[in-house]
Amino acid sequence: MKAACEVCGGPIRTAPNRVEIDGAVMVVCNGCSKLGRSVSGPILRETHAVRPIQQANYRPAPKVAEPEYEIDPDYNVMIRQAREKMGLSQEDLGRILNEKPSVIRMVESKKLKPDPVLTRKLTHHLKVTLLIPLSELEGGKTGI
Ligand SMILES: [Zn+2]
């Protein structure tokens, strides 16, 4: 049995391509494979007997929900206070964290939000808790 393209009906000369077109997975010829998004995986032999309903309705699984944390809005104050308590200058802290002093300065003046890596370094070296759960931020801290 010769495979036929499910889009144009022409014979598939090369290896059949499986592509997703408008949510439906179809076996198409090389020319029509450009119309859809290619789907990896083995080609089902029983394509004609069993409609690939499950695949047509396939939705990517939602990302595993990580606990969401937000940097404390007072991070600049917390970092500056923790640094001063340890008797470190911005240059000292920059050296310890392997960051430019200008980065420390910008963080402490709230011009720069520390990225996850810098946050982790600050948390580790200054022993401050900069990350608070998003739920706590929305629920508990609304009233100022
Ligand atoms: Zn075709």
Tell me, yes or no, whether 144 lies in a domain: no
Diameter of the chain by CA atoms? 81
CA-wise closest residue to 19 among 81, 50, 87, 5? 5
Per residue in 92-134, pLDDT (tens digit) is 999 999 999 999 999 999 999 999 999 999 999 999 999 988 7
For residue 35, report the distance from its CA to the centre of ligand 1, in Å: 9
Q: Give the pLDDT confidence score for residue 68 in this predicted structure.
A: 79
Structural domain boundaries enclosing 101: 69-139
Q: What is the CATH number of the domain that holds 76?
A: 1.10.260.40
Is residue 97 within a helix (H) or strand (E), and if so which, with residue range?
helix 90-97
* 128 found inside a domain: yes
Q: Please give the distance, rounded to the nearest whole angstrom, from the Cα atom of residue 31 to the centre of ligand 1.
A: 6
Q: Is the pTM of this model over 0.85?
A: no
How many helices (H) and strands (E) the chain has is answered by 6, 5
State in Å: Cα 61 to ligand 1 middle. 30
